[in-house]
Amino acid sequence: MIDFSQYDETKPLEMHNLQFDIAVEHLEVEDWILDKIKTPRREFSVRFPLRFDDGHTVLLSGYRVQHNTLRGPAKGGIRYHPQVDLDEVRALAGWMTWKCAVVDIPFGGGKGGVTCDPATMSSAELERLTRRYIWEISPIIGPEKDIPAPDVNTNPQVMAWIVDTYSVFKGYTCNSVVTGKPPAIGGSAGRLKATSRGCVYVLEEAAREMGLDLNSARAVVQGFGNVGYHAAELLHEMGVKVVAVSDVDGGVFNPAGLDPAAVQAHVAGGGSLPEYPQGEALTNAELLELDCEVLVPAALEGQINLANADNIKAQVVVEGANGPTSPQADQIFYDKGIFVVPDILANAGGVTVSYFEWVQNLQKLFWTESDVNQQLKHIMAKAFGEVFAIHQKEKVNMRTAAYMLAIGRVAEAKQLRGVFP
């Protein structure tokens, strides 16, 4: 039996490792294979100078971790954030491995990041940062090796700078080096909302199994970036009452429901989210504990833990963020009957449509948004069904079931590929 007290809830890598360890207790896999696939295959740390607009220069730290490439090229985003460190990137890369395996797309897991505060940087500084970071990691990325994508504080514009930088080095346009690009340079239709749309698709599957009527449900969304905003928008469009949303500044609550587009317009106009006039301000901690049927944590990792899990009242938690819930909180939810759609399943819509984008770039043949969404729904529904079947058969929570499915697939790939030489 695993002693949860030996793991620190505030450390993403320890949470990743604990989730892995819980799942393998239910699997029969050789120890050497488990050791191989638990830890990263390759880690790259870089230090590089960035000249700011006022002329001063600082050294920044950047990372790229390729956790696993047994089932295909490494795949995962790049984040710019003050808290980025190597252990966080290791955890995020591992989660990408399992995410790709759960939805059964031919990628492994990777992740990258730069320790910086993009909120204080100009567009020109962010461009110089991006180009220099990509130059530093260029030896290990590429369409057949490792394909980055947007993550926290990066977006399609950042991906466009990456395409240009990498293409200059290669001597020809190589738009398949990243996904999440603007459509004008090879991005896929439907990519911007893909993570959020995938969350909604698995919510629909979960609601069907739970007998939950989404037309009368109330939803709370933590995080109002790309994933959180579009999740709130899509939920609102399908008739779910979005009663609260939040960002780094705090949240706003209206029991009668919010219009996410109106809230977004308020923030885009320079207003802070808690100051939105048609609602009551509240903290992120208070938001998580609101009375609701659906909770979508779509901010950073580590938001739901031993300190607050018992106070959460939602019937279903759909994890738009990576690693928002600790295994300790998972146990509390399981005992309370709160149904959790785990991150490696719930937010896999983004990497799934990234896979579609990569395929379209390689084939030079592009799909309509309708085709993208139809294929996405098929893959998300199939993955949910496979995880739910394990959940029922093995009497484990959905996260452990998802890890069992993913680890089993990666372990099988290693077993079949064997040991060289």
The per-residue pLDDT for 325 is 94
Q: Omega into 421 within 30° of 0, i.e. cis?
A: yes
Mean pLDDT of the 106-121 span = 97
Tokens 């499915």 correspond to 405
Distance, CA of 157 to CA of 285 (rounded, Å): 32
Catalytic position from the list 111, 181, 193, 414: 111
208, two tokens: 């069907």
**What band does 6 get if pLDDT is binned at 50, 70 and 90?**
confident
Question: What average pLDDT does the structure give for the chain?
Answer: 96
The per-residue pLDDT for 4 is 79
Distance, CA of 129 to CA of 65 (rounded, Å): 19
Distance, CA of 61 to CA of 49 (rounded, Å): 9
The per-residue pLDDT for 2 is 82
Tokens 């990137």 correspond to 89
Beta bridge partners of 58: 50
Which DSSP helix (H) or strand (E) runs through 90? helix 86-102
Mean pLDDT of the 56-63 span = 98
Assess whether 111 carries a catalytic annotation. Answer: yes
Q: What does the pLDDT look like over 316-328, one tens digit per residue?
A: 999 999 889 998 9
pLDDT at position 301 over 90: no
Instruction: Specify whether the CB–CB gap between 65 and 43 falls below 8 A.
Output: yes
pTM above 0.75, yes or no: yes
Mean pLDDT of the 155-169 span = 97
Task: Give the single-character DSSP code of 55.
Answer: S
Q: What does the pLDDT look like over 221-235, one tens digit per residue?
A: 999 999 999 999 999
More confident position, 132 or 1: 132
Q: What does the pLDDT look like over 244-262, one tens digit per residue?
A: 999 989 999 999 999 999 9
Distance, CA of 186 to CA of 209 (rounded, Å): 38
Instruction: Specify whether the CB–CB gap between 373 and 362 falls below 8 A.
Output: no
Q: What does the pLDDT look like over 341-394, one tens digit per residue?
A: 999 999 999 999 999 999 999 999 999 999 999 999 999 999 999 999 999 999
Backbone region of residue 270 per phi and psi (left: phi > 0; alpha: psi in -120 to 50; beta: other values): left
Distance, CA of 86 to CA of 19 (rounded, Å): 19
Mean pLDDT of the 156-163 span = 98
Task: Give the single-character DSSP code of 175.
Answer: G
What the chain holds in terms of domains, given with CATH numbers, is 39-183 (3.40.50.10860), 194-346 (3.40.50.720)
The per-residue pLDDT for 300 is 80
Q: Phi, psi (5° rounding) for residue 187? A: -70, 155
Q: What does the pLDDT look like over 401-415, one tens digit per residue?
A: 999 999 999 999 999
245, two tokens: 């949303």
Reduced to 3 states, what is the DSSP secondary structure of residue 77? strand
The per-residue pLDDT for 43 is 98
**What band does 279 get if pLDDT is binned at 50, 70 and 90?**
very high
CA nearest to 240, candidates 188, 292, 304, 299: 292
